[in-house]
């Protein structure tokens, strides 16, 4: 359903592509207000809106023009702001979701999104509203095909798009009222979400929308190999060569280097310890000034890999001799059997028994919102240090317990503050003890998209924050990840 709308946005971006980058500062008119930005000409417009102007209603889900969450109007045309540079937008009018409510009054489209239930998790809502606004401004009575084409460049994982299409038609028809159901008849009736206004105005705060000022940045160094042994060299020369680099973290810095959703199986390391089991597994964390951290080439990282044979096939993975984990020599995480009644008698007396082997495809959760958050070291009432984490999560108590176990501290020393959650992302930045760092706030961010393989626990961003025990420190983390899994079913087949 993305082809039509995405094509329009990409064509708009292509037309902008011919613009020659000029020198800063750049003048932009955003939501009717004039702004001067002194940034690199090639800075993404999405980054400038969020980082420089704090207009976090514009969401970033891919930085590749695929999801459309960052859609804004540029001189009235919808474009992916992640594909548009500040230099291309200079001297032009930019409209974000924050600019749709004139004088604080919701537009008819925003109101329709509320009444029709089109704003659910809210991650795609700003992009959807912008794309649909452009449509209605040029075509007051669109057909369903035209609506689908207009919003096709913005992906949604919650609604199935029907609620959004209905909202566009409701706005066009002026059908904006929702009657409150009579007492005792609320179940099954349509009612506005309590957080709907915040979602349609861009005011809702997700994990990536808030972080401490002046924090350092994080860059995760990941394995390029699906399976390998590795050795780390001396990182001291790296710190000397790049003065803005403050810390290099590795597995020994983690008190309890393993996590997972199972009570007894913690098979996913925070940072790999001498061995990687999938491409993209986190090996090191570089923390420092953003420019310095991003300037370090991969070739400068002192890691030596010894590549091993890997398999992507489950049957081959079940063959003996190459275990992924010492605790599971046959590569089987868990076995289970469910019986009811006398199974043997039932199989002997039933007229038909089927037998076969079935596999399911990988399941991509496909949430658009980046997993993100920040943490800060605070002093508790009892005088002990406490870690407060603001993060996108659906399981704050599980996160609290897991983080306390990793840090080897009491659960009372960890406080999880859930942000708004877009889609099904439910992870948190993991906090590690400090080795050495300057006495200043620390912002950590990892924005790579990571796909975690099956059987390693839940999808957790591979990043870490640090805290000094003598001074308040803050960390910021942002990552994208998605998990997949496979399941095999065995059914016996026998004809009697």
- Distance (Å, whole) CA 317 – CA 226: 13
Helix (H) or strand (E) holding 445: none
Query: Who wins on pLDDT, 372 or 248?
Result: 248
Residues paired with 483 in a beta bridge = 452
Contact 71, 130 (CB under 8 A): yes
The pLDDT of residue 331 is 86
**Backbone torsions φ then ψ of 28, nearest 5 degrees:** -130, 145
CATH 3.90.1170.50 boundaries in the chain: 217-307+366-483
**To the nearest whole percent, how much of the chain has pLDDT over 90?**
46
pLDDT for 431 beyond 50: no
The pLDDT of residue 6 is 52
- Distance (Å, whole) CA 228 – CA 456: 17
Contacts of 59 (CB under 8 A, 6+ apart): 69, 70, 123, 124, 126, 127, 206, 368, 369, 422
Q: What is the pTM of this model?
A: 0.80
pLDDT for 310 beyond 50: yes
Quick one: fold of 217-307+366-483? Aldehyde Oxidoreductase; domain 3 (3.90.1170)
> Over the stretch 173-209, which tens digit does the pLDDT of each residue have?
998 887 778 888 888 887 888 899 999 999 999 988 9
CATH 1.10.150.120, domain 1-182+189-204, yes or no = yes
Phi/psi zone of residue 478: left (φ > 0), alpha (ψ -120 to 50 degrees), beta? beta
CATH 1.10.150.120 boundaries in the chain: 1-182+189-204
- Distance (Å, whole) CA 31 – CA 73: 10
- Distance (Å, whole) CA 486 – CA 333: 13
Contact 206, 369 (CB under 8 A): yes
- Distance (Å, whole) CA 279 – CA 324: 14
> Over the stretch 267-306, which tens digit does the pLDDT of each residue have?
889 999 999 999 999 999 898 888 899 899 999 999 999 9
- Look at strands 71-74 and 33-37 and give their pairing: unpaired
Helices 162-173 and 144-151: crossing angle in degrees, nearest 10, is: 120
């Amino acid at each position: 359903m993305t082809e039509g709308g995405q094509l329009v946005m990409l064509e708009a971006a292509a037309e902008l592509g011919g613009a020659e980058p000029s020198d800063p500062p750049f003048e932009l008119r955003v939501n009717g207000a004039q702004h001067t930005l002194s940034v690199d000409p090639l800075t993404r417009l999405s980054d400038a809106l969020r980082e420089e102007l704090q207009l976090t209603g514009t969401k970033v889900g891919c930085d590749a023009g695929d999801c459309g969450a960052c859609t804004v109007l540029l001189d009235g045309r919808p474009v992916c702001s992640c594909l548009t540079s500040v230099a291309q937008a200079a001297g032009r009018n930019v409209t974000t979701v924050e600019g749709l409510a004139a004088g604080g009054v919701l537009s008819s489209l925003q109101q329709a999104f509320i009444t029709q239930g089109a704003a659910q998790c809210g991650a795609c809502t700003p992009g959807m509203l912008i794309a649909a606004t452009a449509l209605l401004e040029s075509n007051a009575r669109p057909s369903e095909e035209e609506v689908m084409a207009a919003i096709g460049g913005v992906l949604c994982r919650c609604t199935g798009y029907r609620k959004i299409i209905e909202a566009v038609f409701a706005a066009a028809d002026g059908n904006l009222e929702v009657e409150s159901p009579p007492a005792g008849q609320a179940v099954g009736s349509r009612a506005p979400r309590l957080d709907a206004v915040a979602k349609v105005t861009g005011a809702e705060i997700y994990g990536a929308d808030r972080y401490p000022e002046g924090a350092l940045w994080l860059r995760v160094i990941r394995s390029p190999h699906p399976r390998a042994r590795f050795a780390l060299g001396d990182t001291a020369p790296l710190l000397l060569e790049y003065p803005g680099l403050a810390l290099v973290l590795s597995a020994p810095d983690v008190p309890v280097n393993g996590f997972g959703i199972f009570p007894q199986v913690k098979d996913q390391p925070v940072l790999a310890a001498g061995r990687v089991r999938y491409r993209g597994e986190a090996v090191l964390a570089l923390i420092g000034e953003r420019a310095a951290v991003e300037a370090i080439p991969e070739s400068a990282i002192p890691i030596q890999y010894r590549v091993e044979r890997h398999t992507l096939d489950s049957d081959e993975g079940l063959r003996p001799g190459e275990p992924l984990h010492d605790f599971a020599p046959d590569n089987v995480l868990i076995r289970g059997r469910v019986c009811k009644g006398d199974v043997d008698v039932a199989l002997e007396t039933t007229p038909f028994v089927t037998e076969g082997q079935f596999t399911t495809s990988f399941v991509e959760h496909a949430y658009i919102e980046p997993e993100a958050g920040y943490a800060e070291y605070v002093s508790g009432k009892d005088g002990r240090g406490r870690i407060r984490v603001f993060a996108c999560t659906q399981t704050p108590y599980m996160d609290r317990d897991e983080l306390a176990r990793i840090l080897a501290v009491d659960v009372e020393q960890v406080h999880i503050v859930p942000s708004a959650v877009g889609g099904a992302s439910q992870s948190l930045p993991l906090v590690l003890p400090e080795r050495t760092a300057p006495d200043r706030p620390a912002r950590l961010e990892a924005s790579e998209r990571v796909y975690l393989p099956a059987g390693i626990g839940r999808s957790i961003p591979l990043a870490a924050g640090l805290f000094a025990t003598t001074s308040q420190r803050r960390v910021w983390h942002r990552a994208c990840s998605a998990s997949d899994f496979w399941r095999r079913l065995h059914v016996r087949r026998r004809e009697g």
